[in-house]
Amino acid sequence: MLGFQFIALGIQALSTVFTSRRAVAFYNPTLNGGSMLDNAGGGGGEPLNVIVSGLSSPPVLTDEGFLHYAQAIGFSFECLHQHLGAPQSANLGDGNGWVNQTVELRQDFGDDDLGTCLETLVGGNHFRLYRQNGTAANSGALFLAVSQEEDLEEGHTIIPDGYNAGRDKLVANAIGETSHGHIKYFTVAQNLTGLLAAGSEGVNHGIATDGVTVLLTVKIVN
C-alpha cells in the first residue's frame, strides 16, 4: 500500500447495528445479513474497499455533493453520461436488501466533462457507489467498490491487484485538502481491518485483496 498515514480502529466500535439514524461512521453490513462484497454476477463480487463516513459533512453525502467531491479527487460522471455494462448490487445490512449501485464514476484525467471518455479508451480508476440508508442501519455512509481497470481493448477487466491499487490511488488523491470550484474539502483516511477477508475467495475475477477497507471522513472547510 502507499505510504499515507493510517489509524487502526476497532470495527465493533464503529459498526454496531442500530435501528435508527445516529451519528456514526457506518454500520458493519455483515452483522445484519449484508456483505462487504457486491454482486458482480457470475458468483463473484467486488470488495467494498472504501467507505465515506456518515460523520462527513452532510452535503458530501448527497448525490450532487458527492459528485462535486469526487471531481475534487479526480473522478467524474461517465463519458457523455452513458453507462456501459450491467449495474452491480450490494446488500449493506440496512434492511434494503440487494440494491443496484447509485452511480458509477470514473477517473477524469483533470477534465470533468470529457476526461472519463479517455478512461473508457485507455483504462484507469473507477468505482461504484452504494448508500447505507435503510431503516435497519441508517448511517448515511457511502460504500465504494474501487478498482483499477484495463483499457477498452482488454474489455475493462480489472488489472492484477486492481482492487488494492484502485483503492490506494483514490485514497492518495483524497487525503488532505482538495477543492472543486469554490468548495474546499479536508479528508482523513483510517485503515480498517476485519470487515473484508484477505485473499480471493468470492472476489470477482479471483483477484486477491489485502483485506483492508479505508474509511474516509470528509469535511467541507472555509
pLDDT exceeding 90 applies to what percent of the chain?
Answer: 70
Is 15 a member of any domain? no
Looking at residues 12-41, what average pLDDT do you find? Answer: 76
Which of 107, 109, 110, 103 has the alpha carbon at shortest distance from 88?
Answer: 103
110 — pLDDT class (breaks 50, 70, 90)? confident
For the chain, helix (H) and strand (E) counts, in that order, are 4, 10
- Residue-wise pLDDT tens digits, 143-155: 999 999 876 664 5
Is 1 a member of any domain? no
Flag whether pLDDT at 64 surpasses 60. yes
Say if residues 211 and 200 touch (Cβ distance below 8 Å).
Answer: no
Is 66 a member of any domain? yes
What is the per-residue pLDDT for 74? Answer: 95
Is 123 a member of any domain? yes
* Residue 162 belongs to domain spanning: 24-221
The Cα-based distances of 120 to 10, 75, 85, 107, 117 in angstroms read 38, 13, 12, 9, 5
Which helix (H) or strand (E) is 100 found in, with range?
strand 99-100
Flag whether pLDDT at 61 surpasses 50. yes
Is 35 a member of any domain? yes
Is 5 a member of any domain? no
What is the per-residue pLDDT for 111? Answer: 81
Cell numbers placing 149: 481497470
pLDDT exceeding 70 applies to what percent of the chain?
Answer: 85
Strand order through the sheet with 124-131: 75-76, 103-107, 124-131, 142-149, 50-52, 212-221, 183-193, 176-180
- Residue-wise pLDDT tens digits, 206-222: 999 999 999 999 999 97
Query: SS3 of 76, please?
Result: strand
Is 188 a member of any domain? yes
Which helix (H) or strand (E) is 12 found in, with range?
helix 11-15
pTM to 2 decimal places: 0.87
Our count of domains for the chain comes to 1
Burial of 43: CB neighbours in 10 Å, binned 0-12, 13-18, 19+: exposed
- Residue-wise pLDDT tens digits, 69-96: 999 999 998 786 666 667 999 999 999 9
Instruction: Outline where 78-215 has alpha helix (H).
Output: 115-122, 162-174
Is 10 a member of any domain? no
